[in-house]
Structure 1
Amino acid sequence: MELRKRIPNLGEGDELLIYASAPVMAIVGAVEVSRVIKDAPDHLWTMVKDHAAVEQEFFDQYYQDHLTAYGIFLGHAQLYQKSCALQRLRVAWPGFVPPQNYRYVQVWNAPQHRLTEATTIFPTSRAGRFGLHTRD
């Protein structure tokens, strides 16, 4: 379960790549989005309180002064047998900087597109929207 004040462009079935920061500095796995809920914070709390891993006091403070709250339910998670180190990402995408929050990436199958070689980095992922972005 992920709580957000603003929602990234996500939908059911989308896949989020999981980047582990220092000292690991690699994409270590992926998780599928199973459901996205948009509601008033008090209504969202009743739906997520058993899944959010936060106390109501923190939840209320987080959404203070917000009329809308978002909950992203996460489904099937996969830990990659071999992670993709930051150095390898930067070979595929020169200038790549890990996101502080989230970003999108699109893997294209067109052979002329410069991201084509990046599909070898995520061999178990489906082509489509991901939770990491390097699209120009």
Structure 2
Amino acid sequence: MKKILLSIKPEYAEKIFTGIKTYEYRRKIFRDENVKTVVVYVTSPIQKIIGEFSIEKVLSDTPQNIWNQTKDNSGITKEFYDKYFHNRDKAYAIKIKSVNKYKKPMELKDFYISSAPQSFIYVDGSPCGIEE
């Protein structure tokens, strides 16, 4: 099963693992449809991999249509959403199916990753190596 690692801000990662936020928004998305799991790297000041979630589906549409479909479980404000997708024709929303918070947070190096990705990076297993 293929996985990707996403960098997510601490406040949004917390909302994902508490079930408040059931959609993760992205301006770019992975092309491999076999990706079924997202490994969550929490950005500064935490800078740890804290868990993962399984993907139910990925929505793709205009930013307005995506917001209309997902706003009740967005975990973010409309203002933040609009700013994030400003001047974009397409928006992606990853629908979160289930979450698995690790008992012990992990380092990027545990996954053989040297630095946090700006968008995403493919990973294989847990802990894992980078897939080209």
Q: TM-score if structure 1 supplies the norm length?
A: 0.64
Deviation at 1:12, TM superposition (A): 7.8
Q: Where does the alignment leave 5 or more consecutive residues of structure 1 unmatched?
A: 108-118, 123-132
Q: Select the residue among 53, 78, 85 that pairs with 2:100.
A: 78
In the other structure, the counterpart of 2:13 is none
Deviation at 1:24, TM superposition (A): 4.6
How far apart, CA to CA, are the structure 1 residues paired with 2:97 and 2:32?
13
Structure 1 or 2, whichever has the larger Rg, is: 1
Q: Which has the higher contact order (CA 8 A, sep 6+)?
A: 2
In the other structure, the counterpart of 1:134 is 130
In the other structure, the counterpart of 2:124 is 106
Q: Give 1:98's aligned amino acid.
A: A
Indicate the larger mover: 71-80 or 55-64. 55-64
How far apart, CA to CA, are the structure 2 residues paired with 1:88 and 1:106?
12
- Structure 1 stretches of 4+ with a deviation exceeding 6 A read none
In the other structure, the counterpart of 1:53 is 75
How far apart, CA to CA, are the structure 2 residues paired with 1:12 and 1:51?
25
- Return the structure number with greater strand share: 2
User: Alpha-carbon deviations, 1:65-97, whole Å to 9, x = none?
Assistant: 2221111111211112233334544xxx3x722
In the other structure, the counterpart of 1:97 is 115
Q: Do the aligned partners of 1:2 and 1:73 also contact (CA within 8 Å) in 2?
A: yes
Q: TM-score if structure 2 supplies the norm length?
A: 0.65
How far apart, CA to CA, are the structure 2 residues paired with 1:60 and 1:29?
28
Q: Select the residue among 12, 25, 40 that pairs with 1:3.
A: 25
Q: Do the aligned partners of 2:122 and 2:130 also contact (CA within 8 Å) in 1?
A: yes
Q: Give 1:5's aligned amino acid.
A: R
Residue aligned with 2:117, SS: coil
| Equivalent pairs, count | 110
User: Alpha-carbon deviations, 1:106-128, whole Å to 9, x = none?
Assistant: 34xxxxxxxxxxx5x37xxxxxx
Q: Do the aligned partners of 1:12 and 1:34 also contact (CA within 8 Å) in 2?
A: no
